[in-house]
Amino acid sequence: MHSVWKTSIRFTLVTALLLGLGYPLLVTGIAKAVFPHQAGGSLIQLNDGTVIGSELLAQSFVSDRYFHPRPSAAGNGYDATASGGTNLAQSSKTLVTRIQGDIDKLAAANPGKPVPIDLVTTSASGLDPDITPDAAYYQVPRVAKARSLSEEAVRNLVAQQITPRQLGILGEPRINVLALNRALDNLAK
Amino acid sequence: MTANGWLQFALFCLILLASVRPVGIYLARVLEGERTWLSPLLRPIERLIYKLCGVKAGQEMNWREYAFAVLGFSAVSMVLTYAIERLQNFLPWNPQHLAAVGPDLAWNTAASFTTNTNWQSYTPESTMSYLTQMAGLATHNFWSAAVGIAVAVALIRGIKRTSSGTIGNFWVDMTRTLLYVLLPASIIGALLMVVQGVPENLSAYTTAHTLEGQAQTIAQGPVASQEVIKMLGTNGGGFFNANSAHPFENPTPFTNLFQIFLIFVIPAGLTYTLGRMTGSPGHGWAVLAAMFVLFAAGFTTVYWAESHPHLLIHGAAQTGSLTAPAGNMEGKEVRNGIAASSLFATITTDASCGAVNGMHDSFTPLGGMVVLINIMMGEVVFGGVGSGLYGILIMVVLAVFIAGLMVGRTPEYLGKKIEAYDVKMSMLYVLIFPLIILSLTAAFVMAPNIGLSSLNNQGPHGLTEILYAFTSGAGNNGSAFAGLNANTWWYNVALGWDMLFGRLFMMIPVLALAGNLAMKKSVPPSPGTFPVNGSLFTVLLVGVIVILSALTFFPALSLGPILEHLQLHAGQLF
Cβ pair A170:B220 closer than 8 A: no
Q: Are strands A162-163 and A174-176 parallel, antiparallel or unpaired?
A: antiparallel
Helix residue ranges per DSSP H, chain A: 2-16, 23-34, 36-39, 93-109, 133-147, 151-160, 177-188
User: Chain B residue closest to A79 (CA)?
Assistant: B216
Round to whole Å and give the CA distance between B119 and B355.
9
Q: What pLDDT, on the 0 to 100 scale, is given for residue B321? A: 75
Cross-chain CB nearest to B241 (options A10, A84, A122): A84
Contact state of A52 with B4 under an 8 Å Cβ cutoff: no
What's the pLDDT at B568?
Answer: 96
Total domains, chain B: 1
% of residues, chain B, pLDDT over 90: 95
What is the number of other CB atoms lying within 10 angstroms of the CB of residue A50? Answer: 10
What's the pLDDT score for residue A81? 96
Contact at CB, A83 and B125, closer than 8 angstroms: yes
pLDDT score of B410? 85
- B54 assigned to some structural domain: yes
Contact between A187 and A152 (Cβ < 8 Å): no
Q: Region B105-131: what's the mean pLDDT? A: 96
User: Is B193 part of any domain?
Assistant: yes
Residue contact A15–B200, C-beta within 8 A? no
Q: What is the pLDDT of residue B324?
A: 76
Measuring CA to CA, which residue among B19, B521, B565, B552 is closest to residue B257? B19
pLDDT tens profile B543-565 = 999 999 988 999 999 999 999 99
* Contact residues on chain A for B246, CB-CB shorter than 8 A: 83, 125, 127
pLDDT confidence bin for B100, thresholds 50/70/90: very high
Å between A77 CA and nearest CA of chain B: 10
User: Would residue B344 count as lying in a domain?
Assistant: no
> Average pLDDT per run of 10 along chain A, which is 189 residues long?
88 97 98 97 94 97 96 96 96 97 91 92 97 96 95 96 95 97 88
Instruction: Calculate the alpha carbon distances from B335 to A61, A163, A173, A176, B251 in Å.
Output: 20, 10, 7, 10, 9
Rounded to the nearest integer, the mean pLDDT of chain B is 96
pLDDT value of residue A42 = 97
pLDDT given at position A188: 67
- Predicted local distance difference test score (pLDDT) of residue A189: 64
Q: B-chain residues within 8 Å CB-CB of A162?
A: 323
- Residue B98 above 80 pLDDT? yes
Whether B26 shows a pLDDT value over 60: the answer reads yes
- Per residue in B213-254, pLDDT (tens digit) is 999 999 999 999 999 999 999 999 999 999 999 999 999 999
pLDDT of residue B322: 73
pLDDT higher than threshold 90 for residue B574: yes
pLDDT confidence of residue A2: 66
Find the CB nearest B52 among A14, A35, A107. A14
What secondary structure, in 3-state letters, does B262-323 show?
HHHHHHHHHHHHHHHHCCCHHHHHHHHHHHHHHHHHHHHHHHHHHCCCCCCCCCEECCCECC
Q: Say how far apart CA B136 and CA B124 lie, in whole Å.
A: 13
Amino acid at B34: E
Q: Do the Cβ atoms of A146 and A65 come closer than 8 Å?
A: yes
Does B383 score more than 70 pLDDT? Answer: yes
Other beta carbons within 10 Å of A33: 9
Alpha-carbon distance B45 to nearest alpha carbon in chain A (angstroms): 11
In a domain, B448, yes or no: no
Would you place residue B409 in the very low, low, confident or very high pLDDT band (cuts 50, 70, 90)?
confident
Give yes or no for residue B1 having a pLDDT over 90. Answer: no
In a mutagenesis test of the A interface, which of B6, B59, B310, B333 is the best target, namely the one with the most A β-carbons within 10 Å?
A: B333
Interchain CB contacts (distance < 8 Å): A and B? 390
Residues paired with B413 in a beta bridge: B416
In whole angstroms, what is the distance from residue B24 CA to residue B414 CA?
Answer: 19
Q: Nearest CA of chain B to the CA of A180: how many Å? A: 12
For residue B207, the SS3 value is strand
Residue of B nearest to A18 (CA): B139
Phi and psi (nearest 5°) for B526?
A: -120, 175
pLDDT value of position A1: 56
Please check the confidence at residue B338 and state whether its pLDDT lies above 90: yes
How sure is the predictor about B317, in pLDDT bands with cuts at 50, 70 and 90? confident
pLDDT for B527 equals 82
Residues of chain B found within 8 Å of residue A2, distances taken between Cβ atoms: none
**Does B519 reside within a domain?**
no
Containing structural domain, residue B237: 23-205+218-279
Do the domain assignments include residue B268? Answer: yes
**Chain B contact set for A71 (CB, 8 A):** none
Residue B73 maps to a domain? yes
pLDDT digits (tens, 9 = 90+) for B278-296: 999 999 999 999 999 999 9
pTM of the model: 0.97
B442-476 pLDDT, tens digit per residue, is: 999 999 999 999 999 999 999 999 999 999 999 99
pLDDT (mean) for B473-489: 95
For residue A23, give the nearest of B183, B218, B248 by CB distance.
B183
Q: What is the pLDDT of residue B408?
A: 86
Distance from CA of A132 to the nearest CA of B (A): 6
Residue B511 lies in a domain: no
Q: Tell me the residue ranges of DSSP E strands in B365-409.
A: none
pLDDT recorded at residue B528: 79
pLDDT of residue B499: 97
What is the four-CA torsion angle of B245, B317, A62, B210, rounded to 10 degrees?
A: 30
Residue B228, C-beta contacts closer than 8 angstroms, at least 6 positions apart: B185, B186, B189, B190, B192, B193, B262
